[in-house]
């Protein structure tokens, strides 16, 4: 049983969101065996067609599908109070360790069922209390365990265990963005946060071979691969950035090197993003983290492009970013040592308050730069990274 969250608020568009979620679920569970998905209010029931279904694997995959707020493993029971009470006891016992309070909550969409919700609640609650009163107390406001009883047309469902889902909106419902993906901690987290709002991603990585190594590039490919667990199939564009960096290094004033380099990154990323149907760029910048992430620097970087630039980490502390990167499993890869083109050519004293007109003036010192930009876009390598956990799917949609 899965419950979805925000989709409920989508009014007339709700079927569109639901259809997308169903599609994404089917895709994610591909290869585990035949399933049927039954929709019922804000709940989907995923019903395996055959015995021996790998529920644990299915649940661990479903936890990475955006749009789902929680998942429970349930059995459709006979609508008989004795059966329901036994199951409620079993569900409560399985959750009891270390807990102090519980309550019973009832939903009764099947209005033909002879007992009303408060009666069911009292009956099941009383039964459970008689069995566990030495260990647990009842707390209706803020219980440690909630035993849910749902009486529906097709059967009764009783459960107490919920696995937290990824939340957000179904992937693919909110367009596409170009993520500037470095090898660091921040950008995979930024991509995850935007994808969570239902956005498909392409990755754009700037590579300055031989100043940045093949190993650095492979690390980014690995990060993108880890991200596909959540964001689905991803196209990663690797831009050869060396010539542009050398040109900037050669011609521009030292204190502006980083910010001008970032302006060219944005310009190239914008071209690739537009070519690939993206409506915005995403970066892992966070206010004040480094000199190129002050308000003035961000302004100067922004004004190089006209696509909106989303910076989901802008108000977050590093600690919080690291926490998410651990949750999505990119942290261990992100902290492997590597060189980034941002770190190879760093000025000793970068300007923290750069101005647009200074940058524009400096950029005029590079008459061939547009050609170099065209060449970089032309020679960009596209790597398709397929979703992991989907073996043998011939239709790699998500």
Question: Using CB under 6 A, which of 289, 302, 352, 356 touches ligand ATP?
Answer: 289
- Which of ligand ATP, Mg ion, none is residue 300 near (CB under 5 to 8 Å by kind)? none
- The answer to whether residue 181 forms part of the interface with ligand ATP (CB under 6 A) is yes
- The answer to whether residue 284 forms part of the interface with ligand ATP (CB under 6 A) is yes
Question: Using CB under 6 A, which of 92, 120, 341, 376 touches ligand ATP?
Answer: 341
Distance in angstroms (rounded) separating the CA atoms of residues 173 and 238: 26
- The answer to whether residue 342 forms part of the interface with ligand ATP (CB under 6 A) is yes
200-219 mask for ligand ATP (x: CB under 6 A)?
----xxx-------------
Cβ atoms of 287 and 293 closer than 8 Å: yes
Distance in angstroms (rounded) separating the CA atoms of residues 138 and 128: 10
Q: Which residue's CB is nearer to ligand ATP, number 20 or number 205?
A: 205
Q: Which stretch binds Mg ion (CB under 5 A): 41-49, 65-73, 340-348, 354-362?
A: 340-348
Question: Using CB under 6 A, which of 283, 294, 380, 387 touches ligand ATP?
Answer: 283
Beta bridge partners of 309: 281
- The answer to whether residue 263 forms part of the interface with ligand ATP (CB under 6 A) is no
Phi, psi of 395 (to 5 degrees): -115, 95
Q: Where are the alpha helices (DSSP H) in the chain?
A: 14-28, 55-62, 81-95, 117-132, 186-195, 214-231, 242-251, 257-275, 295-302, 318-327, 331-334, 341-344, 356-363, 369-378
CA 199 to chain centre: 9
| Interface positions, 237-256, toward ligand ATP (CB under 6 A) | none
What's the length of the chain? 398
- Residue 189, both tokens: 């987290």
Of 204, 142, 200, give the one whose Cα is nearest residue 176: 200
The DSSP 8-state label assigned to residue 290 in this structure reads: S
Report, in Å, the least distance between residue 339 CB and Mg ion: 10
Q: Which residue's CB is nearer to ligand ATP, number 122 or number 213?
A: 213
- Residue 107, both tokens: 């939903």
Q: Which residue's CB is nearer to Mg ion, number 225 or number 262?
A: 262
Q: Which residue's CB is nearer to ligand ATP, number 88 or number 298?
A: 298
- Burial level of 240, CB count in 10 A (0-12/13-18/19+)? middle
Distance in angstroms (rounded) separating the CA atoms of residues 35 and 376: 46
- The answer to whether residue 281 forms part of the interface with ligand ATP (CB under 6 A) is no
| Interface positions, 178-217, toward Mg ion (CB under 5 A) | 182, 184
Q: Which residue's CB is nearer to Mg ion, number 182 or number 297?
A: 182
Q: Which residue's CB is nearer to ligand ATP, number 24 or number 283?
A: 283
Report, in Å, the least distance between residue 300 CB and ligand ATP: 13
* Residues in contact with Mg ion by the rule CB under 5 A: 182, 184, 340
Contacting positions for ligand ATP (CB under 6 A): 180-182, 184-187, 204-206, 283-285, 289-290, 292, 340-342
């Amino acid at each position: 049983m899965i419950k979805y969250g925000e989709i409920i608020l989508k009014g007339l568009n709700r079927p569109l969101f639901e259809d997308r979620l169903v599609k994404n679920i089917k895709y994610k569970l591909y290869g585990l065996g035949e399933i049927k998905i039954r929709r019922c209010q804000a709940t989907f029931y995923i019903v395996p067609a055959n015995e021996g279904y790998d529920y644990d694997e299915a649940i661990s995959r479903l936890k990475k599908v955006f749009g789902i707020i929680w998942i429970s493993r349930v059995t459709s029971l006979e609508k008989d109070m004795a059966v329901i009470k036994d199951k409620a006891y079993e569900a409560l016992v399985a959750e009891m360790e270390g807990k102090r309070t519980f309550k019973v909550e009832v939903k009764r969409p099947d209005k033909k069922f002879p007992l009303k919700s408060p009666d069911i609640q009292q009956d099941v609650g009383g039964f459970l209390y008689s069995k566990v009163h030495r260990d647990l107390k009842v707390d209706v406001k803020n219980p440690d365990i909630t035993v849910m009883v749902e009486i529906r047309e097709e059967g009764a469902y009783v459960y107490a265990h919920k696995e937290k889902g990824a939340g957000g909106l179904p992937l693919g419902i909110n367009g596409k963005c170009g993520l500037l993906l470095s090898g660091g901690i921040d950008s995979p987290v930024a991509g995850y946060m935007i994808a969570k709002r239902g956005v498909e991603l392409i990755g754009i990585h700037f590579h300055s071979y031989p100043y940045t190594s093949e190993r650095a590039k492979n690390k980014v490919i690995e990060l993108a691969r880890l991200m596909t667990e959540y964001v689905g199939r991803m196209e990663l564009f690797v831009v050869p950035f060396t010539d542009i960096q050398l040109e900037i290094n050669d011609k521009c004033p030292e204190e502006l090197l980083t910010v001008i380099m970032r302006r060219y990154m944005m310009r190239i990323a914008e071209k690739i993003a537009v070519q690939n149907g993206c409506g915005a760029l995403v970066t892992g910048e966070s206010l004040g983290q480094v000199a190129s992430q002050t308000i003035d620097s961000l302004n100067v970087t922004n004004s190089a492009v006209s696509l909106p630039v989303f910076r989901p980490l802008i108000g977050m502390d590093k600690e919080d970013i690291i926490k998410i990167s651990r949750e999505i499993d990119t942290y261990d890869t992100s902290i492997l040592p590597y060189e980034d083109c941002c770190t190879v050519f760093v000025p000793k004293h970068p300007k923290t308050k750069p101005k647009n007109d200074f940058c524009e003036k400096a950029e005029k010192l590079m008459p061939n730069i547009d050609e170099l930009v065209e060449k970089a876009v032309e020679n960009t390598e596209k790597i398709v990274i397929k979703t992991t956990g989907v073996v043998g799917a011939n239709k790699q949609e998500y």
